[in-house]
Structure 1
């Protein structure tokens, strides 16, 4: 019997900034960190896939999920909180620029929704069509279902990020009015949800923390943005005591966040595995980890700026951030295609977690990443006809234009459809495309 289990999640990319943004509007160190985080995600997804062929049956699993040694490794590899911190940092900067020009929250939500869903719509259409053609050509439906499941899983990020970014104007207003009270309220809500989940035994309750946890971590990004603004505007006569206090804050965040994670694991009984167990659904352990990661980012910002300003650092950052959503979406189909090609060719597959398996990871990673990078120009070209198709559909569909919140909910519904049903059967992919197209109508009317 074919088994198929994928990494439940590692992390997710923050969409790249608007193309017209000037260098002065961007933070080179933050862009570099975002690019490195995305690279970590891709490496994890590719390296954790364990493929085995036993008596003709193909088994594709997350090879390291149940390994005891993997839990401490996740304390370093769980970069999702850092993504949402950076997301909050970037969202605050974009919203403040837009508001200064007289822009509205609707324009902000429309812009963010479009940057997430246009690549996703093109990706969904291509994968759905490809799997449908493969099925008509007689490819085994079980294998198609496995491929669909594997390629669908990373899309959880779209649903969560759409909801969180749609609330940026509201959450920033709360942050400007009562920053500490807002953060405390969100963290308290996450603690309450975790407690209800633990004492009631109902895991479904934890779904609410997809809101509380990620909104709280996004608020940390708002604080980081303010901290960076204050650092950049300090004068040469800035009081030495004040500077010392600012240096102590990152250290306090690192120590406090790390101790909180340790306490949650050793006292409160949370799983020490942060990459999977504390992310499905999200738990307060990720907020504690995010606080520690924010402290590291604060301390490392000056040297990171120097690295990001170098030729290699800036080139790497520019390429990854330009194609961030495309890289995130397409690396899994490339992995599936590479795996299918090797299996079809009768290539030898080492036993997962064997010495040979570890030895072949670098080659597999290099192959998939290279193929994904080469695919980026094609993926970018697919988005132009997608936008034109959305425009045609908008002109033909009658009725009033949807509100920005309605557009977000339609987009989330499309992504959730894929998460529940996958790209297979084909009607699920078609329904997801329709929902995402309807959500993007708001872009056409706004232009």
Structure 2
């Protein structure tokens, strides 16, 4: 649940507020006769400035504070005037000033409170999925950013990605209302099973994410399996619904939370490929055993600096920008916004490409799974991965590919060209294995897939 927070009041706003309250006081004390005249009363309008400033930052409470401060200054000023015997106040005029001041502050308070409530509602809509009531992807990425930063200080972090099996068939056969009901039910399951210290969110479509702080893979697998059994136990009018899940824990050198999420998505793909309705975990890099390398396709005789590069990104602006940078440097560039079509191209035979430049996070298929599927038919793939939200240097050994580079968004041309040149010139190494799942007997209690 989102809680209401007040904006901090800047120092300059406090200084202006105090100065605006001091102006009428000085005017009345220095020019008592003028201060009691009709035109002199206008100097008290400056005491409304704190009400406007504090209303913006603190809403109703700010206006109440400004009103109290203004009334106190007004009362103290009149007491000082009486004690000094400078003049007898015009009580009718003073009463009118107080009435107008209070009326303006009340109106400002009502208006400010309405605006603050609308702002709070807009923030809630921006961070909450309207269908399931769970946090949305934007909210999840904010939490991922902070949790990933904490992992650098030694705190455990594991991410689980869920994907409802055959969800498209539910929509196609039983209608979108049935699909929405399925999503809401799964959202309720996640809400019930997620610890208060963790966060589960709808990540997009039928995909959900759970961010488990201070949790290892064993805990994540047990949690995901509880979710899997609970959704499977529900009976819908159209039958049973199952879910597949992939889990991955933070490892040194990942550099960005997008790499961690992509590792979990890679494990989720393995769960889908292995028959669905199961939970799969990514193997830590240290536990991986590289498979024997197939013979790599021969390099093109293209002169150095003119090699063929295929850029893959679902964002058309990034796709155009990166392609333009590479073309400017003399490379022969092709563009693709659909990873599935790229996989099909490699499966049909030699695509005539010497380097892939791919985004890590894409809605249809993440960059790690893309390269996994390509290396199943062609070894020695050279890849430069692109990712935003970079917090630390990337040195993770789990990236698939025969020669791997990394460049952070926003893309700088010098960084991109340096990474591309380095990957093209580097000797090929054994690729990280595409099979990222844990053996079935590695975690007792899960049992064989149903």
Alignment TM-score, normalising by the size of structure 1: 0.20
Q: Which has the higher strand share?
A: 2
- Find the structure with the greater CA-based Rg: 2
Q: Which has the higher helix share?
A: 1
Higher RCO structure (Cα 8 Å, ≥6 apart) = 1
